[in-house]
Structure formats: structure tokens, C-alpha cells
Structure 1
Amino acid sequence: MGILLIFSVFLYLKTLKTYNFIESISLWVRNYFGAFYLYLGLGCVLLLLGIAISRWGKIKLGLPEDKPDFTRLEWIAMLYSAGMGAGILLRAVQEPVFMQQNPPLQTGISENIMALEFTFYQWGFTAWAFYTIFALVVGLALFHKRLPIATSNTFNSLINAGTKNFWSKNLLRIVDVLVILTTVFGLVAAVGLGASQIKGGLNHLFEASLDYRIIIGLVILIGSFSLISALSGVEKGIKRISTLNIYFTVGLLFFVFVQSNIGLILKHFFLALYQYIVEFVPMSLAIGNYNPGDEFLTDWTYYYWAFWLAWAPFTGIFIARISKGRTLREIIIGVLLIPSLGSFFWFTVFGQSAFEMIAHWGAYNGEFDNVFTSIFVFLQNYPAQTFINGLVILLLISFLVTSVDSAIFVLGMFTDNGNPNPSKKHRWLWGIILTIFSVGIVLLGHAKEETNVLTAVQKLLIITSLPLSLLLVAIIGIWLFDLNTIYSKK
């Protein structure tokens, strides 16, 4: 908390200098570690697939006698809900259209299929591989070793093998602090982006040009609602809002789907999915014709990989908690496939519908270029646009509240000695800290006239996720050692 508060002081008082410093460091990270992000993402996917088909795939997340806490249908529904967030509203139209208008690769397929394929790539298996790794690592410590919720507990077998001393204990504390900081950066980035999109929606609805200070007001409002929800607990607050989110999101998807070219959407969904699977490895390595260039990779792929890494501990704990009693094989296949396919279908429905609009217009003049207003511009071409756009704004607020209240709860677990029901003092502290820091991110995003919250968080997350990505390599090595030990005892 001290580190975050000190950084917040720089964001508030030395905003421009802080932005310039972050920009220079992000370029250094891109030049020296950009390829590492790509190799790590591909490595995690291939490793998980290897484990799923290996003898280790039979190992349960938990003790041999443990049974799943949820039916398979309930489990699938919760996995799908974990894949939903404010980001799919932010990028639903803007990203596929950007890829169509600026094809990242020249592989001979149509612009529409390429746009969907690359969008799938950035929202698909790699993101969920990061989440799955953390879920299985945390699940092993939680359900096999019966240890409190803390990333440092993944090193327990290694530390026990040596001598526990002052240095080893403090090394474990550093690991936990690193995970907490990375989680906070990922979360406040999502809050800043989501609040900016809400402001874009209000501008569009009321044909206004609201000041960025409105975003600050929205962040404080979201932080307050989130704290109230987190104080109410999982059952009363977090679960109810999450359930409403799913209903509204599926309703919005169905609303657009039934009014679009259903046959073409389904056709392009399967074509893009096929291309994505066939070309996944060369795209992941960015080799030859599958290399979109350093600038594109920085603005898109490196940023996405950093974002998914930042959210991996947070989302991984949720997945671990709902997956107890299932085999590693079932968890890996389910987590990699189900949320990915749900997101792919979402982007196909909105992306293909936007492509048809552009074809009908005869020319594209940047109508969907603004990431914060694109979905509102898109929905004005459908009936009841005022009502639907208002619903999207409410859905954005609800998604952000759900993300922040869950994060308050998880961060409370991390800092309250792994307590699955953290004290209200911890929840209060994290609610306040997250709100203060989110406001700082908004200020950072407006440090220069030509920047916004998106450009700021892109640069910030590429830096802050690097230590966790390096740590993940060590975590995976220890996890594989523990898996082999567990299997040998069977």
C-alpha cells in the first residue's frame, strides 16, 4: 500500500514527468523483452496441452476423494462469466474494424476473416493459458498442500528443501508484494478504460463534450459501489451483480445477432476459428509473414499479453476456487476452450455486423475508430438505440463494480494471511487505495493532449507485468516438480 500511495503522489503531482518516464521504460522493455512475452504465451499454451494429454492430466485439483462443488453446467457457466468483462464492450466493434482496415498480416485470406482471426488471437487461448497456469498453481497449494491463499506458497516445496531463514522469508514476501502490485495495476487499468468508455457513451447520448474530470467522478462512484458490494460479501454483493451481468450481456449479444446476417456470421466464425487454430503457432512467434511489426506488437499484442498477465493471479484464484475436485485435463480443456469460444462468437457477431455496415455505407470514414465510443455509434443503427445505449452504460458500470469488488476481496485475502473471508478493515483499505490509484491513472492518461487513458495503460502494463512474467517461469518449474511428486505417490 505504501508503494502504491507513493506512486500515486507522483501521478498526481508530477503527472507529465511520470508519463515521460513510463514511456521511455516501456520502449526499453519492448526492445529487450517483447519477444519473451510471445515465447512465454506460446509456451504456456503448449505446456498445458501437453499436461492435458499426459498421465498428469488424471491428477485432481484437490485430494483423490474430493468431489466438484458445482455441476459441470454450473462450472461452465461460471467459466464463461469469468471471460466476460468491460473489455469485450470496449473492443467489440473497434478492434475487429481496426484489423479489417489495417490488416496486421498479409497471408492471402480476406480482410474480414483476417480481422476476426487476429482478434481471436488476442482474446483467445494465450490469455486463458496465463489464467489456467495460475489457477492450477494456486489450486495445488490451496487444495493439496492446504496452505493459505498466497502466490509465495507455490515456492513452499523449494524453500522447505533448504533452510528457512531471514532471506528466504523476505524473498517470499517480495513474491507476494509483486503479485499484489501487478494485480492492482491491471485492475486500475481496466477501471480507467471502462470509466473512459462510460464518458464516451454519455458524450454520444447527450451530444456533449464532457471534460475528463467526469471520468474521475465515475471512478470514485464505481469505487464506492464496489466497496459497498465487497463489504456485503460474496453471496449478497458480488454473486448477484455477476449474475445480472451475464443476463444483460447475453441479451445484448442476442439482440444484435438476430438482427444481423446469421448465416454469414456463423460461416465467418468457423472460417476464422479454423485459420486461428492452423496459424496459431506462427502468429504466436511473429515469424515471417506472421510478423506485424514492432509498433503493432507494442500497441496490441505485447499490451494484451501484459494485461492478461496482470489479471492472471486474480482470475486464476477464481478459477481454482470453482474447479476443486476436477482433473487437470478437464480444467485445462474447459478453461482454454469455453471462455475463448464465447469471446470469439461475441467478436464475430459485432465485428461481422460492423463490416456489413461499412460495406453498406460504401466508404469508411473512421466511424468506429474511437475505442470509447465505437459500440455506441454501432448500436445507433439498431432499434431502440437510446434504451440499448443506456443499457450498455449500466452494463459497463456493473462490470467494473464486479471487477473491483472481487479484486477488493482477493487483495484482502492476499494481505489478511490468506483468509478466504478477509476482515472488513482490509476491504476498506483496498477499496480506498484502488480508487485513489485509479484516479491517478486517469490523470496519467491526460498528461498530454495527444494521449488518453488507453495509451497510458498500454505503456504502464508492459512495464509492470514484466517482473511477474519472469517470476512465472520459476513458478511453472516448481509446479511441474510438485506435479511429478504427486503423481509418483499415486
Structure 2
Amino acid sequence: MGIIFLFSLITVAATEESYRAIEYASLWVRNYFGFFYLYLGLGCVLLLLGIALSPFGKIKLGKKDQKPEHSLWAWTAMLYSAGMGAGILLRAVQEPVFMQQFPPYPSNLEPEVLALQFTFYQWGFTAWAFYGLFAMVVGYALFVKKKKVLVSATIEDSITGKIARNGIDVMTIITTVVGLIAAIGLGTTQINGGLNHLFEKEFGLGTTLFLALLISAIAFYSAWQGVNKGIKIISKFNILITLLVLLYVFFTSDMVFILSSFVSSTFYYLINFIPLSLAYGGFDPGIDFLTDWTFYYWAFWLAWAPFTGIFIARISKGRTLRQLLLGVLLIPSFGTFFWFSVFGASAFQLIEGWGAYSNEFGNVFSSIFVFFENYPLAMLLNFTTIFLLISFLVTSVDSAVFVLSMFTDKGKKNPSKKHRLIWSVFILLATVALILLGNAKPDIDVLTAAQKLLIVTSLPFAFFMVAMTVIFLKKDLRKPM
């Protein structure tokens, strides 16, 4: 907390200098380590598939006769709400349409299929492989080796220095907090933008601060109640409402075209996955495109991997490594592919019906609201979207508060409520400070700076992930008896 507070003071005292430094550092990371991120992502996917399909996949996270702690439905709802959440709502229309209008590389594929294939690539196996790797290593340490819920516990048998282990845990906490602050700050601003679009008014700073307070308060209550009474209930409710919205759009659109787009784009994504992951040959969109899109996404998924992966590990007791890894890789990925197929294919048809495209879906804050205006019950859909944006933010924050509390309460699986309260309040205050700073310095995009800071902080984790994986494979992983 002291480190974060000191960094906040420096940012407030020297906002412009801090922004320029973060901007420079994030571009430096993406320019020099962007391809390293690509190779790491592909390596994670192949490694997890290899372990899942090998005899190691039979290893159970817990006792041999233990059943999964949570049902498949509840488990999927919690991991998806924590790992993706609001992002799929905000990018549902904007990203596929952008990829259709500005294809990442020349291709013989139809622009619509290429657009969905590349969108799948950026939201698919690689993102979940980053999460799944942490979930596997931490889950093994937690339920097989009976270690504490700490990232440093995964390497403590090989790296015995207390300073080094503490440094790893502090780095994890700082990265998680920065990610949360950025998510809440950006999310509340996006919800505010949706309200502005719906009511054609300018809801100002007061509304954004109220939304931050509301999200933090609900997240605190959820984290206070714990995994079973709070986080699980809200996550299941979120996914249920999201599925209803998805099915409504599916059944009121051209279902044949959507299904055809889903099957074709998924097929090409699967057969082109390796060259896509290496940006090889004709699949190379160029350094500028990679820097703006893929490198950014990979760094963002990496930055969220520690807390999301640890949360997934925490809820995976009683599952085998095969169930964990295939579940994390496949279920949310194919669900996301169908989601983007429904919204992307429907948006393509709307544009075709208009005869011309004037960037109606270009604004990430308003694109889905513009999209719903072309459907019956548009007002209900738009308000449901705002509700889901809030509730998805809540499920990301409450799971992160729970994980942060585990970190700082000596790695306990059920941390004290005092820690949950402290982290909830601290995150709220830090978010309010960030929002106020963004309004005090309108010429400086502070929220974007916070996101770019995640790219910088993810680099140490990228290297740590390699070391952690090597140690896990060489010293920890053992074939089941």
C-alpha cells in the first residue's frame, strides 16, 4: 500500500511527466518484447494442451476421492465473470466491425470471416492459457503440495530467499491493484458514456464517482460474503442475463448466417492458429497493427493472469488438471466465439442493409447501444447492458479483492473479513483519486495511462511465468500413481 500510495503522489505531483514516462515505457515494452509475448502465448497454449492430454492430466487438485467443490455451471460462471466480463459487451460489435473495415492482413477469406477469425484470436485460447497456467501451478501448490495461496509459494522450494519471494508477492499485488483501478475507472467512464448516449445528456464527474462507489460497495459486500454466498451468486446471475441477451439477438437475427459465420471463422481460427500466433508470413499484420492490438491484448491478459489464475485455482478444488485445463481453454473460448459471431455477423448485415458505413460502430463506448437501436425492445436491451457492465465489473472487483486479501492474510484460503474491508476501501479511494486526476487534467488521458501501466508491469510477470513454469515442470509435476 505504501508503494502504491507513493506512486500515486508522484503521479499527482508530476502528472504530465508521469504520463510521458508511462507512454514511453509501454511502447518500449511492446516494441522490444511484443514478439516474445506472442511466442509465450503460443507456448502456453501448447503446454497446457500437452499436460491435459498426457497422464499428468489425471492429477486431482485435492484428495483422490474428492468431488469438485463447485458445479460445472457455477465454476464456468465464476471464471468467466472474473476473466472477461465487461470487455465482451464493450467490444461485441466494435471490434469485429473494425476488423471487417480494416482487415489486419490481405487474405482470400471473406472480410467477415477474416474479421471474426482475428477477433477470436485476440479473445480465445491464448488469453485463457495465460490464466490457466497460473491456475494450474497455483492450484497444484495449494491442493496437492498444501502450500499457501501466494504466487511465491509456487517457487519457494527452488528460490529460498525471503526478499526475492516477498518481492514476487508485492509485484503481484501492485499489478493486481493497478489493473483493478484501471478497470473500475475505465468501466465507470464507459457506463457514463452509455448513459450519455441513451439520454442524450452529459452526465458528469458526479455520476462517474457515484458509479465507482456503487460498484465498490457491491463488490465489497460480495467479497465479504465469500465465494459461495457472494461471488458465485452474482457470477451465475451475470452469465444467465448475458445468455438471455445473446439468445435474444440470435433468434431475432439471421440465425443461418450467424451459425455459418461461427462455424467458418472457428474452422479457420483453428487451422491458422499457429501462424496467427507467430504472425508468420501472410498472417503478419505489421508491427503497427500488432502494437495497437495484439501486443496490447497479450500484455493486458498477462497483467490480469495472476489474480484471475489464482481465483480460478481457488475455485477448482476437486477437479483434475485435465478438467481444469481443458475447461479453462475450451469452454470460455468457444462461448466467446459464439458471442462475437452473433453480434459481429448481425452488425455486418446491418451495415450491408444500410448500403454505406459511416463509422456508426466506431466508438467503443456507444457501439453496442447503437447496435441495439436496430432491434425491438431497444431500450430494455440498452438498460440491461448498463446493468451487466456494472455487475461484470463487480464480479471482477470482488474476486480480485478476495485474492488480494488472501495474499496479504498470510496466504489463507479464506482470508479475514478485515483484509477484505481494507482492500475494498483502499481500491475505492485509489479509483476516486484516478478519476479526479483524469478530470483535473483533461489534456492527459489518465485512465489510458493506467491501462498502459499494466503493459509495463506485465513484463516482469512474463519472465516470471517462464521461470515458474520451468520449476513446475522440473521439480513439482509428478505422474499420478
Determine the structure 2 residue equivalent to 1:436: 429
1:83 to 1:256, Cα distance in 2 relative to 1, 3 A: farther
- Please identify, of 397-406 and 434-443, the stretch whose mean Cα deviation from structure 2 is larger: 434-443
1:455 to 1:298, Cα distance in 2 relative to 1, 3 A: farther
- Counterpart residue type for residue 348 of structure 2: F
In 2: Cα distance, 1:453 partner to 1:363 partner:
35
3-state SS in 2 of match to 1:156: coil
Matched, 1:386 2:403: no
- Please identify, of 456-465 and 468-477, the stretch whose mean Cα deviation from structure 2 is larger: 456-465
1:32-431 to 2 correspondences below 5 Å? 32-72=32-72, 74-76=74-76, 78-82=78-82, 84-159=84-159, 164=160, 168-211=161-204, 214-431=207-424
In 2: Cα distance, 1:179 partner to 1:173 partner:
10
* Contact kept in structure 1, 2:223 and 2:401, CA below 8 Å: yes
1:303 to 1:339, Cα distance in 2 relative to 1, 3 A: same
- Counterpart residue type for residue 29 of structure 2: V
How far has the Cα of 1:443 moved from its partner?
5.5
* Contact kept in structure 1, 2:156 and 2:165, CA below 8 Å: no
Cα deviation digits, residues 151-174 of structure 1 (max 9, x gap) = 100012214xxxx5xxx0111000
In 2: Cα distance, 1:315 partner to 1:352 partner:
30
Matched, 1:478 2:471: yes
3-state SS in 2 of match to 1:419: coil
In 2: Cα distance, 1:71 partner to 1:390 partner:
30
- Counterpart residue type for residue 42 of structure 2: L
1:373 to 1:73, Cα distance in 2 relative to 1, 3 A: closer
In 1: Cα distance, 2:369 partner to 2:273 partner:
32
3-state SS in 2 of match to 1:105: coil
In 2: Cα distance, 1:298 partner to 1:136 partner:
29
In 2: Cα distance, 1:217 partner to 1:100 partner:
37
In structure 2, runs of 5+ residues without a counterpart are none
1:25 to 1:82, Cα distance in 2 relative to 1, 3 A: closer
* Contact kept in structure 1, 2:188 and 2:211, CA below 8 Å: yes
In 1: Cα distance, 2:295 partner to 2:16 partner:
24
3-state SS in 1 of match to 2:412: coil
In 1: Cα distance, 2:266 partner to 2:246 partner:
19
How far has the Cα of 1:124 moved from its partner?
0.4
In 2: Cα distance, 1:95 partner to 1:204 partner:
19
Instruction: Name the Cα RMSD after superposition.
Output: 2.1
1:73 to 1:245, Cα distance in 2 relative to 1, 3 A: closer
How far has the Cα of 1:324 moved from its partner?
2.4
1:378 to 1:231, Cα distance in 2 relative to 1, 3 A: same
In 1: Cα distance, 2:394 partner to 2:79 partner:
19
3-state SS in 2 of match to 1:158: coil
Cα deviation digits, residues 76-127 of structure 1 (max 9, x gap) = 5555555550111111111111111111121211110111011100110001
- Please identify, of 57-66 and 439-448, the stretch whose mean Cα deviation from structure 2 is larger: 439-448
- Counterpart residue type for residue 473 of structure 1: V
Cα deviation digits, residues 167-211 of structure 1 (max 9, x gap) = x01110001111111222222222222212201111111102333
3-state SS in 2 of match to 1:407: helix
In 2: Cα distance, 1:291 partner to 1:2 partner:
43
1:8 to 1:263, Cα distance in 2 relative to 1, 3 A: same
* Contact kept in structure 1, 2:314 and 2:413, CA below 8 Å: no
- Counterpart residue type for residue 64 of structure 2: P
3-state SS in 1 of match to 2:5: helix
- Counterpart residue type for residue 57 of structure 1: G
* Contact kept in structure 2, 1:44 and 1:129, CA below 8 Å: yes
1:120 to 1:188, Cα distance in 2 relative to 1, 3 A: same
Aligned residues: 481
How far has the Cα of 1:364 moved from its partner?
0.8
3-state SS in 2 of match to 1:108: coil
* Contact kept in structure 2, 1:61 and 1:324, CA below 8 Å: yes
In 2: Cα distance, 1:232 partner to 1:323 partner:
19
In 2: Cα distance, 1:260 partner to 1:380 partner:
14
- Counterpart residue type for residue 107 of structure 2: T
In structure 1, runs of 5+ residues without a counterpart are none
3-state SS in 2 of match to 1:229: helix
* Contact kept in structure 2, 1:8 and 1:436, CA below 8 Å: no
1:322 to 1:47, Cα distance in 2 relative to 1, 3 A: same
Identity %: 58
In 2: Cα distance, 1:109 partner to 1:445 partner:
42
How far has the Cα of 1:263 moved from its partner?
0.4
3-state SS in 1 of match to 2:157: helix
TM-score by length of structure 2 reads: 0.94
Matched, 1:468 2:452: no
In 2: Cα distance, 1:198 partner to 1:446 partner:
16
In 1: Cα distance, 2:14 partner to 2:63 partner:
52
How far has the Cα of 1:424 moved from its partner?
2.6
In 2: Cα distance, 1:447 partner to 1:278 partner:
49
* Contact kept in structure 2, 1:230 and 1:427, CA below 8 Å: yes
Cα deviation digits, residues 231-256 of structure 1 (max 9, x gap) = 33333332322222112111111111
1:227 to 1:67, Cα distance in 2 relative to 1, 3 A: closer
3-state SS in 2 of match to 1:61: coil
1:205 to 1:273, Cα distance in 2 relative to 1, 3 A: same
1:316 to 1:60, Cα distance in 2 relative to 1, 3 A: same
Cα deviation digits, residues 315-353 of structure 1 (max 9, x gap) = 212322332233222222221110100111111111111
In 2: Cα distance, 1:279 partner to 1:246 partner:
30
